[in-house]
A = this chain, B = another copy of it.
Amino acid sequence: MNLHPYCEPIAMLLGTWRGEGRGFYPTISDFTYTEEVVFGHVGKPFLTYSQRTWDPATEAPMHAETGFWRCAEQGTLEVLLVHPFGLAEVSTGRVEGETVSVSTIATVPVPSAKVVSEVTRTLTVGSGVLTYEISMAAVGEPLQAHLEGRLEKIG
């Protein structure tokens, strides 16, 4: 099945990526994780997206995300994804060369979840490596760096 032409600008995300990341935030202890990210497609103008992380030592599951990266003709993006801790993120952004940047236009927590008011994501792909930085404004803290990782293409 051919990739939808609207998604050509983010074709470099397609595949399975695995590597290591680390997290930090004023309200929690620093942590590290192993991560796998899968971007796929079904010929329509979006990529499917799933992500999971696990403890490098015990292999216990840590985080997960799933959603869709919608592609518009002019290289703009609309991203919808959800977290099992109880958050939906809806973002818009752009792709410019090897770099994809999106920022939330809405974050919706479930009633029992902590409030995350803003998330920004920057992904860069080059030479078979995907690096990313995620910033977050949450629980009263201003927008600041929260997660970073480096993944290699494994499939």
Please give the residue numbers on chain A whose beta carbons come within 8 Å of chain B beta carbons, in ascending order: 42-44, 46, 48, 50, 61, 64, 66-68, 70, 72, 78, 80-84, 86-90, 92, 105-106, 108-113
**B108→A88 contact, CB < 8 A:** yes
**A78→B46 contact, CB < 8 A:** no
Taking CB atoms, residues of chain B closer than 8 Å to A80 are 82-84, 86-88, 110
Taking CB atoms, residues of chain B closer than 8 Å to A64 are 42, 48, 68
**Copies in the assembly, this chain:** 2
Instruction: Give A61 to B40 CA distance when docked, in angstroms.
Output: 14
**A78→B111 contact, CB < 8 A:** yes
**B84→A68 contact, CB < 8 A:** yes
Question: Shortest distance in angstroms between A13's beta carbon and chain B's nearest beta carbon?
Answer: 15
Taking CB atoms, residues of chain B closer than 8 Å to A92 are 110-111
